[in-house]
Amino acid sequence: MIGVPAAAGIVNFVVLTSAASSCNSGIFSTSRMLYSLGERGEAPSRLKDLNGRNIPAPALIASVIMLLIGVLLNYLIPNAATVFTLVTSIATICFIWVWGIILVAHLRFRKLKPEEAKKNTFRMPLAPFINWAVLVLFVFVIVLLGFAADTRVALFVTPVWFLILVVAYLGLKAKNKQSQKEN
């Protein structure tokens, strides 16, 4: 439309290069994170293994397997927009969970240790009002997710994911406790 015949190809190249770069950095950072968790005993110890070139291969393979879930979703749900909405809705709920916990922890810190909170030189602006305002905003977003059929499914999938994580954590904790008793 702008008179440059190759413009669409150039834009597609830039978008695909950007997506590939993002995917590559995600795989790299996730595998290193899993490796670190394995080293600290907070993930299966197999994830801390390195191959002959000092690459955390088991952690890298685990990261790629998780990425392949997205490919599988694209195969099972042919509408890419539906897959995108599902994944971003689940990510939104996880984001809200993490930041909600941070806000509640900050409120508890201010309540349980008011002297330390006053001494802190790095203060949250407008606290504690802003904590409550953001928590209300998060509840509002979750309610909005519940109104739309395509985002509502995330409200059911995400708790199942959390349950899987809790069971895995408790299993790992029990395994670590058992191995400490044996040593």
Per-10-residue mean pLDDT for the chain, 183 residues long?
78 89 90 93 88 93 89 84 86 93 94 87 86 96 91 90 90 82 77
**In the prediction, which pLDDT does 160 show?**
92
One DSSP character per residue, 85-136 reads HHHHHHHHHHHHHHHHHHHHHHHHHHHH-HHHHHH-SSPPTTTTHHHHHHHH
Nearest partner of 26 among 79, 101, 107, 87, judged by Cα: 87
Encoding tokens for residue 76? 């099972």
Single-letter amino acid code for the residue at 46: R
**In the prediction, which pLDDT does 58 show?**
95
Nearest partner of 168 among 43, 35, 38, 32, judged by Cα: 43
Alpha carbons within 13 A on the beta-carbon side of 47: 20
**In the prediction, which pLDDT does 1 show?**
64
